[in-house]
Structure 1
Amino acid sequence: MSRDAAARIQSAAARNPGSDTARDEFDRRAQSAGDKNEAHDRDDDRDDDDRDDDDDRGPAAPQSA
């Protein structure tokens, strides 16, 4: 779940505090899921950046003396 989706759920719960969404605290769980997913996405982006730095040309050719 994205943080934007979680924000929409929280907004709906705030507009109608008597709703099932508000009463069972789904809005809080949605926010937690959005936060976790964003952190996971940031970690994935860092991993992708690390892989981009790898040298994909294979082993170096032996050098003659």
Structure 2
Amino acid sequence: MTKGKTPMNKAAASRIQSATAKNTGGKVSKGSFAAKAQSAAAKNAAKPAK
């Protein structure tokens, strides 16, 4: 069974960014997966609900 895509939300992006920061001494690099997740969450939050 496959699931449909779930859009990135702020809570998930926050967890990803937190885990990345813990593993890299508090730094989240520009262009990293964590940064991209945060950007996607912001874009999804700005979209009108269907």
The structure with higher relative contact order (CA 8 Å, sep 6+) is 2
Q: How many residues align?
A: 40
TM-score (normalizing by structure 1):
0.53
The higher radius of gyration belongs to: 1
TM-score (normalizing by structure 2):
0.67
1:37 counterpart residue number: 44
SS at match of 1:44: coil
Q: Distance in 2 between matches of 1:29 and 1:5?
A: 12
Note the residue ranges of structure 1 that are not aligned, 5 or more in a row: 46-65
CA RMSD of aligned residues (A): 2.0
Q: Percent identity?
A: 47
Tell me which protein shows more helix as a share of its residues: 1
